[in-house]
Amino acid sequence: MESGNNTRISEFILLGLSEEELQPLIFGLVLSMYLITVFGNLLIILAISSDSHLHTPMYFFLSNLSFVDICFTSTTIPKMLWNIQNNNKGITYEGCITQMYFYILFGGLDDILLSVMAYDRYVAICHPLHYTVIMSPQLCGLLVLISWVLVALNSLLHSLMVLRFSFCPEIQIPHFFCELSQLVQLARSDNFLNNIVMYFATVLVGGGPFAGILYSYSKIVSCIYKISSAQGKYKAFSTCVSHLSVVFLFYFAVLGVYLSSGTTYTSHSSIIASVMYTVVTPMLNPFIYS
């Protein structure tokens, strides 16, 4: 890409976890987790699609979440494994922008789908008699479609703004994938507008669904509290345990990435937290819901 008289960038260098002696161990560990993630989430999708008793809104959203988790993990991990195997840390400019786009896309979808699933649990517990009417197949499909459109536009906006940047001919990214905030900080161009857009989008796309989850569960807790029998309370709450576990794991990993990236820009803690976010969390989701 050209910006004025700047040199066209053809490749970035992904430093990642650069200890040479640990590369075989890292490769084997990450590959194992990636395969478990793909096959675990794929089994969830196949089980839901093959069993007519699971053709309900809750499992419809779960199958979408599993599909998004597979795509989210596949956005970064295969390239990381390829680079380790071939001892090559490069990624093309076009590949970097593409990777960043899909990373934002599927990460945002994870966030919004968890919020939609919280709304589904709210309707099921607080309005059980009207559940099938409210959570109709049309509404479920519309919620998923709106989620895709919103995050696709958000990812496209960030990608187009990064395309405006100019970079040094030799640029090293202290990570194992092309992450938006690092590209913004490494750019030679003025990135003030991008920082404003990035923080605003984080509040809107990240904070909005989280606020929706908190609101839904505040209503759920209020409804459960009104149930007279202890068995009824337990039965109502048990339908939320899996979703609550995934929500806690997801936002715990996001918080870890945020806090670690804010301490030391090139620290290994940020990379390890990102591995937790991109691999470990999607890998554990099938076990939790199973």
Domain edges within the chain: 11-289
The pLDDT score that the predictor gives to residue 143 is 95
With cut-offs at 50, 70 and 90, classify the pLDDT of residue 170.
low
Torsion 43-44-49-53 (CA) sign: positive
pLDDT of 4 higher than 70: no
Distance of CA 284 to CAs 32, 39, 211, 219, 276, Å? 13, 12, 24, 27, 10
pLDDT of 167 higher than 60: yes
The separation between the first and the last C-alpha atoms of the chain, rounded to the nearest angstrom, is 47
The three-state (H, E, C) secondary structure of 180-215, written as one string: HHHHHHHCCCCCHHHHHHHHHHHHHHHHHHHHHHHH
With cut-offs at 50, 70 and 90, classify the pLDDT of residue 19.
low
Written as six digits, the tokens of 258 are: 């945020």
Query: Do residues 283 and 33 touch, judged by C-beta distance below 8 A?
Result: yes
For 30-73, the pLDDT digits (tens) are 899 999 999 999 999 999 999 888 899 999 999 999 999 999 99
Q: What mean pLDDT, rounded, does the chain reach? A: 83
Instruction: DSSP for the chain, please give it.
Output: ---TTPPPP-EEEE--S--GGGHHHHHHHHHHHHHHHHHHHHHHHHHHHH-GGG-SHHHHHHHHHHHHHHHHHHHHHHHHHHHHHHT--EEEHHHHHHHHHHHHHHHHHHHHHHHHHHHHHHHHHHSGGGHHHHT-HHHHHHHHHHHHHHHHHHHHHHHHHHTT----SSEEESSSS--HHHHHHH-SS--HHHHHHHHHHIIIIIIHHHHHHHHHHHHHHHHHHH--SHHHHHHHHHTTHHHHHHHHHHHHHHHHHHHHHHH-TT-HHHHHHHHIIIIIHHHHHHHHH-
Average pLDDT over residues 156-166: 81
CB atoms within 10 A of CB 169: 10
Rounded to two decimals, the pTM is 0.86
Q: Give the CATH fold of the 11-289 domain.
A: Rhopdopsin 7-helix transmembrane proteins (1.20.1070)
- Any residues with CB less than 8 A from the CB of 122 and at least 6 apart, and which? 216, 217, 219, 220
